[in-house]
Amino acid sequence: MSNMEEAIARYSGAERQLCDEAGPLLGAIIRGVEARSGVRISELRVTIDWANSVDGAISANCTIVQAQEPDRSTHPKNGAADSARSVSSFEP
């Protein structure tokens, strides 16, 4: 296996772990945010902010890339410009 193939396999495995472990928790959080804000999130980007991560805490920026108004489901809304929020999570 080449170095590139090994890297792809590592990233693929990491993505699978993230989806398996974070997916159910993130899904529940998203549903709560949708219910409180009245939008339907269809795409979300989470970026780790290592520069602002301190003492084992991970600082993450969450951006709604695409969402829809429930009563206007055929008109996507790009919320990237005004929806970025920072959150922190502690590593075990």
pLDDT in tens, 50-91: 998 889 899 999 999 998 887 654 444 444 434 444 444 433
Model confidence pLDDT, tens digit, residues 23-55: 999 999 999 999 999 999 999 999 999 998 889
pLDDT of residue 39: 93
Which sequence spans correspond to the domains of the chain? 1-37, 39-92
Residue 82 and residue 64: Cα distance in Å, rounded?
9
Answer whether 0.85 is exceeded by the pTM: no
pLDDT value for 82 = 41
Specify whether the CB–CB gap between 79 and 68 falls below 8 A: no
Residues 6+ apart with CB under 8 A from 66: 41, 42, 43, 76, 77, 78, 79
Supply angle C-alpha 80, 85, 87, rounded to 5. Answer: 145
Please choose, from the candidates 44, 38, 41, the residue with its C-alpha nearest in 3D space to the C-alpha of residue 70: 38
